[in-house]
Structure 1
Amino acid sequence: MKFAIALFAPPHSPAARRALRFAEATLAGGHEIVRLFFYQDGVHSASSNPVTSQDELDVAASWSRFVSEHKLDAVVCIAAALRRGVLNTEEASRYQRPAANLQAPWELSGLGQLHEAAQLADRLVCFGGD
């Protein structure tokens, strides 16, 4: 089965951890992830800046490792990211900000990527959000 996974919650939330565990179980079960889409506060899971306490799971770093290891299509909504200060090098330069905090394997793109993922997948599974 093909899955698209959308995360709307920040990395410190239970929803972000559940989404990560669901994605891991999806691949372990022999299924495919056609796209991961990070929207609203979920964009913070793609930032390279969060610092997590030593006794907690570093969800942002775990997502980055997972995406890299499995060579997944991981998209961060550009509008949500810009609004929350999650910028790649190009956007930091464009908006004259001092630093970028979005690195590979993440890609900034529009909400249309979520729509496309829903069309490509058998199931769209969403975590978090209001």
Structure 2
Amino acid sequence: MKFAIALYSAAHAPSSRRALRFAEAALAGGHEIVRLFFYQDGVHSASSNCVTPQDELDLAQQWAAFVSSNQLDGVVCIAAALRRGVLNEEEAARYQRPAINLHAPWELSGLGQLHDAIQTADRLICFGGP
């Protein structure tokens, strides 16, 4: 089965951990993840500036490692990211901001990427939300 996964909550939220464990289990079960889409507060899961307390799991780091090691398409909604100060080098330069906190393996893109993933996947699985 082909899954598209959308994450709406920040890295420290329980739903982020559930989403990561679901994605790991899906791949371990022989399924395919066509795209991971981070939206709303989920964009914080892609920020390299998140600092996790020593006694907690560093889910932002785990997400980045998971996306990299499995060569997945990890897309961060550009509108949600800009609103929350999650910027790659190009957007930081465009808006004359000093900080860059979005690095590979993440890609900034629009909601069209989520739509495309939904069209390609057999199932869209959403975690978190308002």
TM over 0.5, yes or no?
yes
Structure 2 counterpart of 1:19, one-letter code: A
Confirm whether residue 91 of structure 1 aligns to residue 73 of structure 2: no
Equivalent position of 1:42 in the other structure? 42
Equivalent position of 2:74 in the other structure? 74
Q: CA deviation at 1:99?
A: 1.5
Listed one character per residue, the Cα deviations across residues 90-123 of structure 1 (whole Å, up to 9, x for unaligned) are 0000000002100000000000100110000000
Structure 1 counterpart of 2:78, one-letter code: I
Equivalent position of 1:109 in the other structure? 109
Listed one character per residue, the Cα deviations across residues 11-66 of structure 1 (whole Å, up to 9, x for unaligned) are 11000000000000000000000000000000000000000011110000000000
Describe the SS at the equivalent of 1:96. coil
Q: Percent identity?
A: 78
Equivalent position of 1:17 in the other structure? 17
Tell me how many residue pairs correspond in the alignment: 130
Runs of 4+ in 1 over 6 A off after TM superposition: none
Equivalent position of 1:125 in the other structure? 125
Describe the SS at the equivalent of 1:116. helix
Output the CA distance in 2 between the equivalents of 1:113 and 1:121: 12
Output the CA distance in 2 between the equivalents of 1:118 and 1:90: 27
Equivalent position of 1:51 in the other structure? 51
Q: CA deviation at 1:70?
A: 0.3
Runs of at least 5 residues in structure 2 that lack an aligned partner in the other structure: none
Equivalent position of 1:6 in the other structure? 6
Output the CA distance in 2 between the equivalents of 1:52 and 1:99: 19
